[in-house]
Structure 1
């Protein structure tokens, strides 16, 4: 689809990370479709910034596997490649398992309440068919153990590879399998609250490792 024209430009003081996030989200929410060519000039106009942060963002997106950069030719949105998705899924599952394993003994009642609140909002969003809201709530729930664990290396790996899975997550939450996600969340929170490190870590791993690796 063409670059949208109905969004207001962002502030010109926009940080590079903000440009990256806007482009990343436009790919993962389907605004830019697989195979679509991305021109830095058009993207810069859309965001209201210079080409430099756009080019830097496209390089980061290429490193994360969301775009394919062809030097001197073009940059296109990557397809849902099964091998790349499987690799990202396995790494993400391992990092969330690690985060939960490190976080369980450190959880406060406020941390667990935050997870419960996010789980409730996730279930409500699924019931309403609001996939965007479901993804936000799901992110907030799983971000709690990552933050509590405080493992910066794990957080950096998740920052790089989670976007690769975003399109697959959307497919899951719109499918029958998505209806089982609230049960996974409930079990994760229950095991965390009980202080059962091994069980909580296993649930975290399974939650991510059961993501499909293709759109089929």
Structure 2
């Protein structure tokens, strides 16, 4: 039977989307378990038990674990399988230093290159994050928080910078999440984000660079006690 161009279009839309959705859902659920500490550092992931809990077979589960290994959240250890990665203080400090260099560079570029529509979209994401802060939904707040940092990197217009930033940020997910467990520290991070969005809206590059540098210095202060 001949396949028409309309049929090919339908197949292109339907099949890949369902596969990506399963993969993304699995990665997201396992990532949340790691970020929230349900799967603690150095925990060996039992594929059978986790697959049963998530209602999936081992094949998609293993693909999800491989992806999380590429993010740096787990390690695939010969003879042990997948193990949740534990970062050392030196690992985190080194990554935070590079992250600061990337984000301050991105800040200057974003102030020059971002459109008003892009800045408006970031403001809406910030306001959504603040709503989750008000209701003390830490995980949802955290996801928006990280999306804001990624968005500033993307607004630089430098794809290599944004990709490098994402690679580092993914490895720090759990550490940065637990850094806001103490209410006073969480409030401090929120105040810094308020300053960041105001500086970006004003396209005040010097101010945005200063706030981001201060924010990431404070982030190190917040997380080093939990390493």
Same-fold call, TM > 0.5? yes
SS at match of 2:155: helix
Higher RCO structure (Cα 8 Å, ≥6 apart): 1
- Which residues of structure 2 form unaligned runs of 5+? 1-16
Deviates more, 1:87-96 or 1:175-184: 87-96
Q: CA contact under 8 A between 2:125 and 2:144: conserved in structure 1? A: yes
Q: CA contact under 8 A between 2:150 and 2:162: conserved in structure 1? A: no
Counterpart Cα distance in 2 of 1:62 and 1:137: 22
Alignment of 1:1-216 (within 5 A): 13-14=19-20, 18=24, 19-175=26-182, 176-211=184-219, 212-215=223-226
Offset of residue 179 of structure 1: 0.5
Q: 1:8 maps to which residue?
A: none
Q: CA contact under 8 A between 2:179 and 2:226: conserved in structure 1? A: no
Q: Paired residues, what number?
A: 206
Q: CA contact under 8 A between 1:188 and 1:204: conserved in structure 2? A: yes
Which one has the largest radius of gyration? 2
Q: Which has the larger share of helix?
A: 2
TM-score (norm 2): 0.74
Counterpart Cα distance in 1 of 2:94 and 2:62: 26
Offset of residue 46 of structure 1: 4.2
